[in-house]
Amino acid sequence: MESRTEEMTVLIVGSGGREHAIAASVKKSPRVSKIYCIPGNAGIAELGEIVPDIKAMEFDRITEFAKSHEVDLVIVGPDDPLVGGLVDELEAAGLKAFGPRRNAAMLEGSKAFSKDLMKKYHIPTAEYEVFTDAASALKYLESASLPIVLKADGLALGKGVLICNTLDEARNGVKTIMLDKKFGTAGNRMVIESFLKGREVSVLSFCDGKTIKPMPSAQDHKRAGDGDTGLNTGGMGAFSPSPFYTKKIADECKKLIFQPTVDALRAEGIDFKGIIFFGLILTEDGPKVLEYNARFGDPEAQVVLPRMKNDIIEVIEACLDGKLHKVKLEFEDNAAVCVVLASEGYPVKYSKGYPITGLEAFNGRDGYYCFHAGTKKSPKGIITDGGRVLGVTAKGPDLRQARANAYEAIQWVDFQNKYYRKDIGKAIDEA
Ligand code: GLY
C-alpha cells in the first residue's frame, strides 16, 4: 500500500494495558515518528509523550491538542469516548481518527440496539426481550426459565451483566439495574436473555465498513479469583489463540456472524470503521454472539497485538480508506499468555501508590512484554495507580510454553499487595 504520510504523529486515547499494547504496535511502524497518549500511563510514557492532564472524555481538549500538535492520526482505545462520539468530533475538526463514530459505536453502547440488530438480520444469539420499566421486567421473569441473564442497556464499566440462578436473584437484579440505578442511566432500559452454555471466545476484527478481517482468537478471564470465582473484573488475564476455536468454527463464524454483522450495519446505513470485538459463546447449537464491543478488548489486545506481523498503521489506514480487502492480515504462528498483576482487593477496595520494582528486567527480552494499566511516575519512581497494575505477556511456540513463560516473567516485577490469578490459561489443558 502506498504510504501517504511519513514521519507521522499518532495520538492514542486511553490509559490501560490495551492502549499500551496499541502504542507498542504503533511504535514498531517505521512510518511513525512521534506518539502522544491522552492520558496514558508510566509504561506508555516510555514509548511516547503522555498528557496526563487531559482525560479521555474531554473531547474539546483532545481535539484542540490534536490540532495544535499536528496529529496525523488519532486512535481511540476505550468504549466511553467512542460511544460518546469522540471520533465524530475529531472528524468534524478535520482530523483523521480510527474507531467507530457514535452511531456505529452503538453496537457496544446499547445492548438493546445490538440484540435487535442480530434478531433482524438472523445473527445467532440468545433469545431476549427488551424492557423500559421494572414492572414489565418483573412480570416477564415469573414465567422465564432459569438461569437467566440481565443486562443493563448502556455502558457499565463491563459490570452491567448479571447471571441469575434463582427467581429472587433475578428480581433483585431488576431492582439493582432499573430501580436502584446501580449502573446509572445505563439501566434506563434492560435486556433479559436466556442463559447460554458453552466456552467463551473473543474475536477482535478490523472493519472498514464493508470488509471485515478477524484477528486470531483469544480468551479472557473475567472473574477475580482462581477457578472463575469472585467478582467480575476488567479481565485478569488472557491467552491467544483459543484451542477451542477450531478452523471449522472460525469458518462458521465468518459466514454466519462476522460478515452478516457488517452487512447488517451497512443495511442500517451505518459505516463501521474500527474494531469489532465479537464476544462469542461456543454452544452445542453452534457459535452465538454474547455481546459486541466496538474496540480492542482488554486484556485480549495484550495477547493478540504482540503476535501481529502487519504494520498496524497500514491496516488502520486501509480501514479508514475502505481498502481493507487489499490487506492480508498476518500473525505469528505461536501463542501468547497475559497474566494481570492487580492490587490485592481489586475490584472492590485496594491501595495505590506502591513502588514497582523489576520493570527493567523486560528490557531487550524478545517475546516478553510488561504492559502498564494502573501506573504512574512519581519521585519514588514508577508506582501503582489502579486496581489492575500491569499485564505481563509472554509468547511461546505453543500455549503451554507461553503460559510457563508468562508465569516466570511475573516474578521479575514486584510491588506491595501484588495479586494475580494462578490459573490463567488452565483451560488449555482441557483442549
Ligand atoms: N475483555 C473484555 C473487554 O475488553 O470488554
Residue 419: inside a domain: yes
Q: Is residue 289 part of a domain?
A: yes
Residue in 300, 303, 338 to alter for ligand 1 test, most ligand atoms within 8 A of Cβ: 300
Q: Could you read off the pLDDT of 363-392 as tens digits, one per residue?
A: 999 999 999 999 999 998 999 999 999 999
Task: For ligand 1, say whether the CB of 79 is within 6 Å of any of its atoms.
Answer: no
Among residues 194, 217, 237, the one where a domain terminates is 194
Q: Are residues 29 and 57 in the same domain?
A: yes
Are 214 and 258 in contact by the 8 Å Cβ rule? The answer is yes
Are 203 and 253 a contacting pair, CB within 8 Å? Answer: yes
Residue 198 main-chain phi, psi, to 5 deg: 155, -175
Q: Are 319 and 257 found together in one domain?
A: yes
**Are 203 and 320 within one domain?**
yes
Ligand 1 binding pocket includes 405 (Cβ within 6 Å): no
Share of the chain above pLDDT 70, in %: 99
Which residues lie across from 204 on neighbouring strands? 277
Phi then psi for residue 37, to 5 deg, are -140, 130
Q: What is the largest CA-CA distance in the chain?
A: 62
The partner residues of 338 in beta bridges, in order of sequence, read: 238, 393
In a domain, 119, yes or no: no
| 224/232 Cα distance (integer angstroms) | 6
- The kind and range of the H/E element at 185 are none
Of 83, 155, 220, 281, best ligand 1 pocket probe by most atoms within 8 Å of the beta carbon: 220
CA distance linking residue 176 with residue 183, whole number of Å: 8
Residues 135 and 71 in one domain: no
Q: Residue 142 domain-assigned?
A: yes
Q: Which residue has the cell 495477547?
A: 303
Give the distance, in angstroms, between the CA of residue 274 and the centroid of all CA atoms in the same chain: 12
Query: For ligand 1, what atom is nearest to the CA of residue 158?
Result: 5
Q: Which three cell numbers stand for residue 357?
A: 520494582
Alpha helix (H) ranges present in 240-304? Answer: 247-253, 259-267, 300-304
Q: Do 132 and 188 have their domain in common? A: yes
pLDDT in the model for residue 5: 53
Residues 345 and 408 in one domain: yes
Last residue of a domain, one of 142, 172, 194: 194
pTM of the model: 0.96
Atom of ligand 1 nearest to the CA of 18: 4
Distances 14 to 196, 247, 279, 320 between C-alpha atoms, Å: 32, 33, 21, 20
Query: Which residues, 6 or more positions from 136, have their beta carbon under 8 angstroms from its beta carbon?
Result: none
Ligand 1, closest atom to CA 297? 4
**Structural domains counted in the chain:** 4
**Residue 120: Cβ-neighbour burial (10 angstroms; 0-12, 13-18, 19+):** exposed
CATH number (domain holding residue 50): 3.40.50.20
Strands (E), 348-426: 368-372, 375-378, 381-384, 388-396, 418-419
Calculate how far, in angstroms, residue 380's C-alpha sits from the geometric centre of ligand 1.
32
Residue 2 lies in a domain: no
Ligand 1 pocket member 208 (CB < 6 A): no
pLDDT tens string 33-89:
999 999 999 999 999 999 999 999 999 999 999 999 999 999 999 999 999 999 999
CATH number of domain containing 186: 3.30.1490.20
CA distance 79 to 206: 16
Task: Reply yes or no on whether the pLDDT at 2 is more than 90.
Answer: no
Residue 1 reports pLDDT greater than 50: no
Give yes or no: residues 160 and 209 share one domain.
no
Residue 117 located in a structural domain: no
Structure confidence by residue, pLDDT tens digits, 232-256? 898 999 999 999 999 999 999 999 9
**Is 114 a member of any domain?**
no
> Do 343 and 370 have their domain in common?
yes
pLDDT 10s digits, 113-152: 999 999 999 999 999 999 999 999 999 999 999 999 999 9
Residues 286 and 182: their CA atoms lie apart, in Å, by: 34
- The rounded mean pLDDT for the chain is 96
Asked if 234 and 155 touch (Cβ cutoff 8 Å), the reply is: no
Do 298 and 388 share a domain, yes or no?
Answer: no
Task: Output the domain CATH number for residue 370.
Answer: 3.90.600.10
Distance from Cα 16 to the centre of ligand 1, integer Å: 12
Q: Is the CB of 235 under 6 A from ligand 1?
A: yes
- Domain range for residue 342? 336-430
Specify if 69 maps to a domain: yes
Q: Are 308 and 24 in contact (CB under 8 A)?
A: no
Could you give the CA distance from residue 384 to residue 6 in angstroms, rounded to a whole number?
36
Gap between the Cα atoms of 400 and 100, Å rounded: 36
At 309-336, the pLDDT tens digits run 999 999 999 999 999 999 999 999 999 9
Per-residue pLDDT at 140: 95
The closest alpha carbon to 204, from 301, 111, 108, 69, belongs to: 301
User: What's the rounded Cα separation, in Å, for the pair 318 and 325?
Assistant: 8
Give the domain CATH number at 262. Answer: 3.30.470.20
307 and 358 in one domain? no
For residue 46, the one-letter residue type is: E
Cβ neighbours around 154 below 10 Å, total:
20
Could you say which of 295, 326, 357 is where a domain stops?
A: 326
277 CA distance to ligand 1 middle (Å): 9
**pLDDT on residue 3:** 47
One domain for residues 311 and 378: no
Asked if residues 176 and 162 have their Cβ atoms less than 8 Å apart, the reply is yes
Q: Are residues 139 and 75 in the same domain?
A: no
